[in-house]
A and B are shown apart, each in its own frame.
Chain A
Amino acid sequence: MTRVGVVTFPGTLDDRDAARAVRLAGGEPVALWHADADLHGVDAVVLPGGFSYGDYLRAGAISRFAPVMGEIVDAARTGLPVLGICNGFQVLTEAHLLPGSMIKNDHLHFVCREQVLSVERTDTPWTRDYAQGERITIPLKNQDGQYVADERTLDELEGEGRVVFRYEDGNPNGSRRGIAGISNAAGNVVGLMPHPEHAVEPGFGPDGPQGPRSGTDGLRFFTSVLHALVG
C-alpha cells in the first residue's frame, strides 16, 4: 500500500485530519515526528496545518530547521511528492522549496470560511484527479494567509504555469494575483493555504450539491498522489 508521511511539529493541529484523509483515499498514513531525521521510506509527505513552534518567529520559520525537514528538503529536490497545507505551505516557503512568503491577512482578521478555488494546474501529483479550471470548495482558516512575492517572481510563476490554485468569488486575504496555491518548477512540491483534508468525508465538510456538509472536494488531493505513485 502507498505510504504517505504526515509530519507533526509542536503546534501542528491538522495531522490527524491529514492522516484520515490519506486513509479515506486508500493510502497508508505514516506519522513522522519533527525531531526524527528519518522519512521511514514513505512515498510522499504532507506538511499539515497548525502553528508550528507557535509561529513565534514567523509562520513556519522555525520548522525549517527541524531534523525531519532536512530529509524532506533533500527528498523533495529528487522528486518526492510534498504537499504543504496552510502552515505547511508557510514551512515550504521558509525552507525555500517554494518562492514567496505569507504575511498577515490584509484585513487583519482570522478568516474561517468555505472557499471556492479554481484548479489551474492538473499535472502535479497532488492535482491530477481534478479537471483543468474546475471550481472546488474547501475550508480556509488562517491569520497569516496573504501570499506575497516580488513582481518578477509572480510573473515567473504565472509564465511557467506554477499557480496551482486561485481564489474565486473574492480574495479572502489580499493574496497577490489571487494566488491560493503554487508549485515548484518540477511540480512535485505543492503548497496552498486552504485545507483539502477538511473536505474528504460526507457529513464533515463544506456544503455541497448533495446538501449541507456533503462536500468532499478535498479528497482528490489524496487520491491524486496515490494514483500518481502507482502510475
Chain B
Amino acid sequence: MGRVVVDVMPKPEILDPQGKAVAGALPRLGFGQFSSVRQGKRFELEVDGPVTDEVLAAARAAGEQVLSNPVIEDVVAVYEDTQVAAQ
C-alpha cells in the first residue's frame, strides 16, 4: 500500500479568517513567538500498489480539480508518504 499526501493552503492574498483567529489565540495560551498562522488542509490518498509517477500525477490533478478551489486555494505540495511505504 502506498499513500500520497496533498497539501492545500489558502492563497497568500486571501485573508484566512481561521488562521487569523488561531494566531490571536496562541499568545493568550503562552505561545507568543508566532506572529502569523495560516490554516490549510492535508489530504491522504491511498493506493493498493506502489506510488508511481502516474499515481503522483493523478493526485496532483485531483488536487487541482477537486481537492482545491483555485480561486481561493493553492495545491502547495504533492508527495509520497514514505513512512507508509516503509511499513
Among all A-B residue pairs, the 5 with the closest Cβ atoms: A101-B71, A104-B17, A101-B72, A108-B17, A108-B21
Tell me, yes or no, whether A1 is within 8 Å of chain B by CB: no
**In the complex, are the beta carbons of B14 and A148 less than 8 A apart?**
yes
A 130-168 to B, binary, CB cutoff 8 A, 1 in contact else 0: 000000000000000010111000000000000000000
Cβ of B14 to closest chain A Cβ, rounded Å: 6
Give the residue name and chain of the B residue nearest to A65 (CB): B66
**In the complex, are the beta carbons of A93 and B18 less than 8 A apart?**
no
**In the complex, are the beta carbons of A61 and B69 less than 8 A apart?**
yes
Cβ of B65 to closest chain A Cβ, rounded Å: 10
Tell me, yes or no, whether B4 is within 8 Å of chain A by CB: no
**In the complex, are the beta carbons of B21 and A106 less than 8 A apart?**
no
Instruction: Give the distance in Å from the alpha carbon of A146 to the alpha carbon of B17 in the complex.
Output: 10
Tell me, yes or no, whether A171 is within 8 Å of chain B by CB: no
Tell me, yes or no, whether B6 is within 8 Å of chain A by CB: no
Instruction: Give the distance in Å from the alpha carbon of A150 to the alpha carbon of B18 in the complex.
Output: 20
Instruction: Give the distance in Å from the alpha carbon of A218 to the alpha carbon of B68 in the complex.
Output: 33
- Residues of chain A within 8 A of B85, CB atoms compared: none
Give the residue name and chain of the B residue nearest to A103 (CB): B72
- Residues of chain B within 8 A of A99, CB atoms compared: 71
A94 and B69 contact, Cβ closer than 8 Å, known pairs A103-B14, A106-B15, A148-B14: yes
A residues neighboring B (CB under 8 Å): 57-58, 61, 65, 93-94, 99-101, 103-108, 146, 148-150, 174
Tell me, yes or no, whether B67 is within 8 Å of chain A by CB: yes
Cβ of B82 to closest chain A Cβ, rounded Å: 26
- Residues of chain B within 8 A of A104, CB atoms compared: 17-18
Instruction: Give the distance in Å from the alpha carbon of A31 to the alpha carbon of B67 in the complex.
Output: 29
Cβ of A173 to closest chain B Cβ, rounded Å: 10
Known: A101-B71, A148-B71. 14 other contacts (CB 8 A): A58-B69, A61-B66, A99-B71, A101-B69, A101-B72, A103-B10, A104-B17, A106-B17, A107-B17, A108-B17, A108-B21, A148-B72, A149-B71, A174-B17
Instruction: Give the distance in Å from the alpha carbon of A101 to the alpha carbon of B21 in the complex.
Output: 21
- Residues of chain A within 8 A of B71, CB atoms compared: 93, 99-101, 148-150
Give the residue name and chain of the B residue nearest to A94 (CB): B69
Instruction: Give the distance in Å from the alpha carbon of A28 to the alpha carbon of B67 in the complex.
Output: 37
Most A CB contacts (10 A, CB to CB) among B13, B17, B69, B72 go to: B69
**In the complex, are the beta carbons of B17 and A105 less than 8 A apart?**
yes
Give the residue name and chain of the B residue nearest to A104 (CB): B17
**In the complex, are the beta carbons of A57 and B67 less than 8 A apart?**
yes
- Residues of chain A within 8 A of B14, CB atoms compared: 103, 148
